[in-house]
Amino acid sequence: MHIGIFGAGSVGAYVGGMMVRGGHQVTMLDLWFEHVVHMREHGLSLSGSQGEFHVPVQALHLSEAQALLKNKVDVAILCVKSYDTEWMTLFLRDYLAPDGYVLSMQNGMNEETIAPLIGWGRVMGCVLNTIGVEMTGPGQVMRWMKPAPPGYPVFRIGEMHGRVTPRALQIAEILKSVDHADVTTNLWGERWSKLTNNATASAIGPLTGMGIVDMFANKDTRRLSIKLAQEGVQVGRAMGLQLEKISSIAPDVWLAGNPNTPDGFAEIELALKKWEERLDVTGQASTLHDIRRGRRTEIESINGLIAKKAAELGVPAPLHTELTARVKQLEAGTLTQGLDSIKDLFD
């Protein structure tokens, strides 16, 4: 099976590199010229919680993708930012084998964007849980989050229709060369649960400049993140989704938290402390990385998506709406990063 990684950033490069290390045929494609040249000439360096590895890889700049016409990809793993989904899907479809498909390994709910462009039968989703990777330079990726405990699926692969298929089982087996993987019959519920998980940090991180460990250590930002999770659960349930655990905490436990009493979040905070054991102090929301590097964030596809769905359903999600707007102000340079940027939202 020939696998193409379209968007060899932190997630794409790490996953692709580990699959190459596991003996699979992978071609990396990316827009960052220096990164592509480094991978081609020097290979890919993987480090962090799973050890240190140096892997020789096949790498192409997107301008060189025509080379794939001689050896089309059976699986195109899509790892670009959500706002690049449409054009990248149109770009890669000519390089898919006749029975090839796209596997979205992105934040958000991008299968709904991909499917109309290539067909619903040629799309699968892959929800990533607790992988935590960061690109530290061209051809260099570090995994800052500890590997999953036995039986915990980091990769949850799902078909649009929810059935378990041979191709889903096949790609799950391949992804086991990276970390534990399994097939889910609840892709949409998994997607929204992960989206809600991301949304607890994706706005607070860039606005305050705080890493994830520091964000949860601070009482005010921790309680704000809990309220964001509560809004996400309420919207997901209003959509009719079967939600999974969020940060290893059941949806009902999130909703049982009472922001109006001093100890109303005690059970959630205790559970969060257990979940935080897998975090490293270097862990940051991807949106904070983007702000620090002067790039556009995915906030509209994370907190913004929750706010959008809430508005469509008439479900209140004021924090997601407000924080999305503030991150966009931060991107535009009209808001200053720091705790003061969200202080008015604290209890």
Q: Kindly report, residue by residue over 168-187, the tens digit of the pLDDT.
A: 999 999 999 999 999 999 99
CB 76 within 8 A of CB 6: yes
pLDDT digits (tens, 9 = 90+) for 257-292: 998 887 899 999 998 888 777 777 678 899 999 999
Residue 218 CB neighbours (<10 A): 17
What does the mean pLDDT of the chain come to? 95
Within 13 Å and on the Cβ side, how many CA atoms surround 61? 10
Whole-number pLDDT of residue 172: 98
Residues 127-149 have a mean pLDDT of 90
pTM of this structure: 0.94
Do residues 113 and 191 make contact, with C-beta atoms less than 8 angstroms apart? no
**What phi-psi label fits residue 119: left (phi over 0), alpha (psi between -120 and 50 degrees) or beta?**
left
Mean local confidence (pLDDT), 149-177: 95
pLDDT confidence of residue 347: 82
Q: Answer yes or no: is pLDDT of 148 > 80.
A: no
Mean pLDDT of 9-25: 97
Phi, psi of 25 (to 5 degrees): -85, 115
Distance CA 233, CA 172 (A): 27
Across the range 13-26, mean pLDDT stands at 98
What digits encode the pLDDT tens for the residues 200-259?
Answer: 999 999 999 999 889 989 999 999 999 999 999 999 999 999 999 998 899 999 999 998
Which domains are seen in the chain, by residue range? 2-185 (3.40.50.720), 193-345 (1.10.1040.10)
The percent helix, strand, coil of the chain (3-state, each to 5) is 50, 20, 35
The answer to whether the CB of 211 falls within 8 A of the CB of 333 is no
* Structure confidence at residue 75 (pLDDT): 98
Main-chain phi, psi angles of 21, to 5 degrees: -60, -30
Tell how many helices (H) and how many strands (E) occur in the chain.
14, 12
